[in-house]
Amino acid sequence: MDIKEDTLLLETSPTAAPQPLLPLLAPSPLAPFTNSTSPKLSGLCTLNFAAVKSMMAVTSIDCVAPFAEYLANVMCCPQLETTLVILIGQSSKHSNMLALNGSLAKHCLSDFQQLLVSQGANDTLQQICSLHRENLTEGSCPVKDVHEFESTVDSSSLLDTCGKIDLVNECCEETCGNAITEAAKKLALKAYDISNMDGPHVLSDHTTRVNDCKRIVHRWMASKLEPAGAKHVLRGLSNCKNNKVCPLVFPNMKNITKACGDGMNNQTKCCNTVERYVSHLQRQSFVTNLQALDCAASLGLKLQKDNVSKNVYNLCHISLKDFSVQVTPEGNKPTLCVCSSIPIRLFFFTLLFCSLVITSCYLL
């Protein structure tokens, strides 16, 4: 095997057809590389971590140290946030509270990350996923008591609507999502004097309050469903939301504008510039096919605004697969998982990463 920078070349006999590599059938390479240190817990957190033990194990894999940042928007952070919601929801069965106070939230968030890191997760998850102790509190939502929640919203109707969801229909019709929004609005209204709700500042505050109350609704749902069922619903809602937005950041396009703008006279230079730019985008984050579609459309619009009238996608053979890591077909057979944007020093995690990518295609 010859190893070059960011490239894996497999030598095969010219007289025999190579057998396809199926990463999902290979033994998991995770165990030898997992950090199994003992977590240093505060001893002050009252959350029932045992209730989500299996989910935390999955989270530590989805947020495994070398790839957490790369898989942040499609796997790691959604799984992390869902686990945290279910953790608080399950614990509310005993506390009757759907939120923690600031001091307790600080200790619990620290313990939560310590437990994940001890199982191999990245130790900067709070930064990667923008997770703060406020995410464990009620925020600006005026309701956190379970009994007050259930007396404010039509809880039975909410559970009927969101207890089980069809992921495809939900992304199109948003039946459960709309029910959650309506419930959150009812909770948010308890903070106001209805006779004094005029003005743009009230509208801005109300939007923030509704978003905070959605988190309370999610936790309540997680308290009424089994952890596996709650995960299915919450991850489904998260996937619908994430797939609507391109998570990539488009840097300055002046080089493309210069090489491919009106008056272009060197197609090779133009395409090389476009390919370098798209390669940079690919290195930011793994994206789903639906996100890649939105990213391609967004980039196309930006190029048009920068006076690039040529269809550089057709001209330079740029397709959706160029916006993300792919599993490439050869004929009708699956071949290597293409991890070209992963540094070669992470070679031993390649099979694990490819397995995660393939699995995410089915989950998303």
Tokens at residue 284, please? 């930011």
Pairing assessment for the beta strands 333-338 and 7-9 based on DSSP bridges = unpaired
Residues 258, 227 share a domain: no
The pLDDT value recorded for residue 62 is 93
Place of tokens 């989805």: 62
Last residue of a domain, one of 200, 231, 262: 231
Residues 263, 192 share a domain: no
Residues 263, 223 share a domain: no
For residue 359, CA distances in Å to 22, 240, 292 come to 12, 17, 17
State the residue range of the domain holding 261: 254-363
Tokens at residue 345, please? 């020093």
Tokens at residue 123, please? 């130790």
Residues 203, 151 share a domain: yes
Contact between 82 and 212 (Cβ < 8 Å):
no
The pLDDT value recorded for residue 18 is 46
Residues 192, 145 share a domain: yes
Residue 40 lies in a domain: no
- Please name the residues in contact with 311: beta carbons below 8 A apart, sequence gap of 6 or more: none
Q: Would you give the DSSP letter of residue 121?
A: B
Residues 267, 225 share a domain: no
The pLDDT value recorded for residue 340 is 35
pLDDT in tens, 17-49: 444 444 444 444 444 445 567 888 999 999 999
Residue 22 lies in a domain: no
Domain tally, the chain: 2
Low-confidence stretches of the chain (pLDDT beneath 70)? 1-36, 193-204, 325-364
Contact between 112 and 42 (Cβ < 8 Å):
no
Query: 3-class DSSP state for residue 143?
Result: coil
Residues 264, 206 share a domain: no
Residues 156, 215 share a domain: yes
For residue 219, CA distances in Å to 49, 99, 223 come to 15, 8, 6
Residues 312, 267 share a domain: yes
Distance CA 53, CA 136 (A): 18
Residues 297, 220 share a domain: no
Residue 321 lies in a domain: yes
Q: Would you give the DSSP letter of residue 263?
A: T
CA 311 remoteness from chain centre: 31
Query: 3-class DSSP state for residue 56?
Result: helix
Residue 127 lies in a domain: no
Residue 238 lies in a domain: no
Nearest residue to 66 (alpha-carbon basis) of 339, 363, 359: 339
Phi, psi of 281 (to 5 degrees): -65, -40
Task: Give the total residue count for the chain.
Answer: 364
Residue 10 lies in a domain: no
Residue 219, burial from CB neighbour count under 10 angstroms (0-12, 13-18, 19+) = buried
Residue 309 lies in a domain: yes
Secondary structure element (H or E) that encloses residue 109, with its range = helix 102-117
Phi, psi of 34 (to 5 degrees): -75, 135
pLDDT in tens, 236-271: 999 999 888 898 999 999 999 999 988 788 999 999
Q: To 10 degrees, what angle do helices 77-95 and 200-224 make? A: 70
The pLDDT value recorded for residue 22 is 41
For residue 6, CA distances in Å to 23, 81, 116, 225 come to 19, 32, 29, 44
Residues 216, 153 share a domain: yes
Residues 200, 260 share a domain: no
Last residue of a domain, one of 231, 264, 281: 231
Residue 169 lies in a domain: yes
